[in-house]
Structures are given as structure tokens and as C-alpha cells.
Structure 1
């Protein structure tokens, strides 16, 4: 999978849908901002939770979005791999395969962030 092509296509599809259902888009955005705000849990911790759910539900686009957020939040590869171990433990074989996909995305985006 080419993560850049896949995420560009996903974002284009979402943008098109958002133009058709602007109120839903607005509401989803407000909900996301509230859910990700630092509180008792940091945004980074919440993004790790979201990544685990994305892996468990086998959502490639969700994996891409949350991996990029974790890179932005300076998640280390060690933290990331520990989260993948928990996701694999909780989800078994399918989560193992999707954790491998997530690690590939992390390595790509983290390398780009390092070079930027």
C-alpha cells in the first residue's frame, strides 16, 4: 500500500462527502475537537486509544489519520510498538496484520517528519 496515495484519495473522498453533508461534517469536527482535547488523558494517549480501535476495526484510513497524529505528537517508535502489541493482544491475528500495516505507516511518516 502506498500510504500517500491512499490517504490523498481518502481525503479527497471525504472532502467530497463533506460538501454533501456539511452539518454532519461540522458536528463530527466539533465532537473530534472535544474528544481529543487534553484533560485527564493527553491528546497523545487518546490518539493511541483511537489507533487501537482503528486496528481492531480494520480501518485503513483511520490507521492513517491516527498514525499521522501520533507522529505530529512526537510518539516514539517504542511507544508506538508497545501500543501495537496491546492492539494485537486484544484483537488476535487480524489485529496483528493491521498492526504491521500501522507500523509501516508510522515508519514512513516519522521518517518524513524527521527530514522536514
Structure 2
């Protein structure tokens, strides 16, 4: 299954969760917006942090969504590689496997844009 298809499937599951637990999902959305719109770090820098954490925590859906967000925030493939290298340093072999997912997702999404 392609990363795009996985992302579409996850978005459908999240829409269902939003209908089932709207208050909790709204609260999470409010937190997410507040974190992204405030503070001294740029949105791109915050996405670097989120992506690195996603790799270390081994959350493939998080990885995909933060790769997409990083692309939209103006990140480059070279910056992505630097973030992934740091995540691998922190997470070892398992992190390396998920870093591979992140790079594969980036390359797939980039190919669809260009």
C-alpha cells in the first residue's frame, strides 16, 4: 500500500474518531494549533522536532503526517535526512527502520507533487 493510501485511510479513521469523541478531538486540535502558532521556533523547526519524535516513538502514521507537514512548511530532503540521522542516533536500529519509512514517504509525496 502506498503512503498516500495509508494516509487517506488514516484520515478516514480520524474522521470517525472525531465523530465519536468530538470534544477530545477538538481539544487536541486546539492544543495543536496553539503549539504551532506560538513560540520562538518556526513551524518548520517544530515539524523537525515532531518528525524526529515520531521516528523515535515508531509511529508510522505520525511519521507520514509530519513528513507531509514538513514539506508544506518548506523543508528540504537534505534537512529531512539530517533529522532522520539524529533520530537514528537516538533510537538505534529500530529508529533506522522507521527513518526508512519517513524517507520513502517523502520521496513518494515529492514525486506526486512534481
TM-score band by shorter chain is over 0.9
Q: 1:33-69: CA deviations, max 9, x gaps?
A: 0111253101101011000111111111000110000
Extract structure 1 runs of 4+ deviating beyond 4 A: none
* TM-score, length-scaled by structure 1: 0.93
Higher relative contact order (CA 8 A, sep 6+): 2
Residue of structure 1 in register with 2:100 after alignment = 100
Q: What 5-or-longer segments of structure 2 have no aligned partner?
A: none
Aligned pairs for 1:1-116 (under 5 A) are 1-113=1-113, 115=114
Counterpart Cα distance in 1 of 2:4 and 2:112: 11
Normalised to the residue count of structure 2, the TM-score between the two structures is 0.95
Aligned residues: 114
